[in-house]
């Protein structure tokens, strides 16, 4: 008998911190067997210690690495009897700053992790998803994928792409019985908010957000929304009241949204 027994199964990338860790804790507490993946073993081990015994399996790999994906999904399948009820494509990184200040190598890294990593995950996981009745994919985007976010231009572009990819795949995979849902959180209190434009930057994005009076939500809210995304009939799930407001404004008052974005751009030094 597989380690997951008859439990539902979820494979989570970026499980070593933030939304990934909170989602693992929530799903494990509700009886799911969790495949936990992260690029770093230390944080992943910390997540494991927070979960009930026998509720998880781990893999250390970089989501940019296709062979890493293949090995991890194969190992997860061995643990679950070839089942994957939910692929939670969560791993992501950010770089903040004026566009020209972000080194191109950093911009490439953001694209490779945030977009190509998601695509790699769907390719690798599709064979297990196809064998699992009621399977679905939840791709984590961002409210920055609903409106363009100044000083997060490349990050924002990748999240727009994840949103479009999810919508297209939801239509494509309907005949396979697989749903593809996109989760778009507002700013969540995770390590990604502590990333500056470059190593050694004097100011962090989290400081700018708080100084601007913007809401920053706890990871537990995002995890609950991940649970909703795993069960909803909707194709897009927003996380946070501010995210819901932005979605509404974008649809019905695009001119006002554009003006607000322009007013929110900080003065160049």
What are the residue numbers of the active site? 155
The residues near 94 (Cβ < 8 Å, ≥ 6 apart) are 110, 152, 155, 192, 195, 205
- Is the separation of the CB atoms in 79 and 3 below 8 Å? yes
What does the alpha-carbon distance between residue 51 and residue 233 come to, in Å, rounded to a whole number? 28
C-alpha 267 chain-centroid distance: 30
Give helix 153-172 / helix 104-111 axis angle, nearest 10°.
Answer: 20
- Dist CA 163 CA 34 (whole Å): 24
d(CA 66, CA 80): 21
Q: β-strands 179-185, 136-140: how paired?
A: parallel
d(CA 216, CA 232): 24
* Cβ pair 7, 32 in contact under 8 A: yes
* β-pairing verdict for 136-140 and 236-239: unpaired
């Amino acid at each position: 008998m597989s380690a997951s027994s008859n439990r539902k199964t979820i494979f989570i990338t970026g499980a070593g911190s933030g939304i990934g860790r909170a989602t693992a804790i929530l799903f494990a507490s509700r009886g799911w067997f969790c495949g936990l993946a992260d690029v770093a073993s230390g944080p992943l081990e910390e997540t494991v210690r927070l979960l009930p015994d026998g509720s998880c399996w781990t893999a250390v790999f970089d989501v940019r690495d296709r062979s890493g994906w293949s090995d991890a999904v194969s190992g997860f399948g061995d643990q679950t009897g070839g089942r994957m009820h939910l692929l939670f494509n969560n791993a992501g990184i950010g770089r903040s700053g004026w566009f020209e200040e972000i080194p191109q190598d950093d911009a490439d890294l953001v694209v490779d992790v945030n977009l190509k990593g998601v695509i790699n995950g769907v390719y690798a996981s599709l064979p297990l998803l196809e064998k699992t009745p009621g399977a679905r994919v939840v791709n984590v985007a961002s409210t920055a994928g609903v409106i363009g976010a100044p000083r997060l231009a490349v990050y924002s572009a990748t999240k727009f792409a994840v949103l479009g990819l999810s919508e297209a795949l939801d239509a494509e995979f309907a005949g396979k019985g697989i749903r593809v849902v996109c989760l778009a959180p507002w700013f969540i209190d995770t390590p990604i908010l502590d990333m500056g434009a470059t190593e050694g930057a004097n100011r962090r994005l989290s400081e700018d957000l708080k100084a601007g009076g913007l809401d920053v939500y706890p990871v537990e809210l995002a995890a609950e929304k991940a649970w909703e995304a795993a069960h909803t009939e909707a194709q897009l799930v927003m996380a946070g009241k501010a995210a819901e407001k932005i979605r509404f404004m974008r649809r019905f008052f695009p001119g006002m949204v554009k003006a607000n974005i322009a007013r929110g751009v900080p003065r160049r030094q």
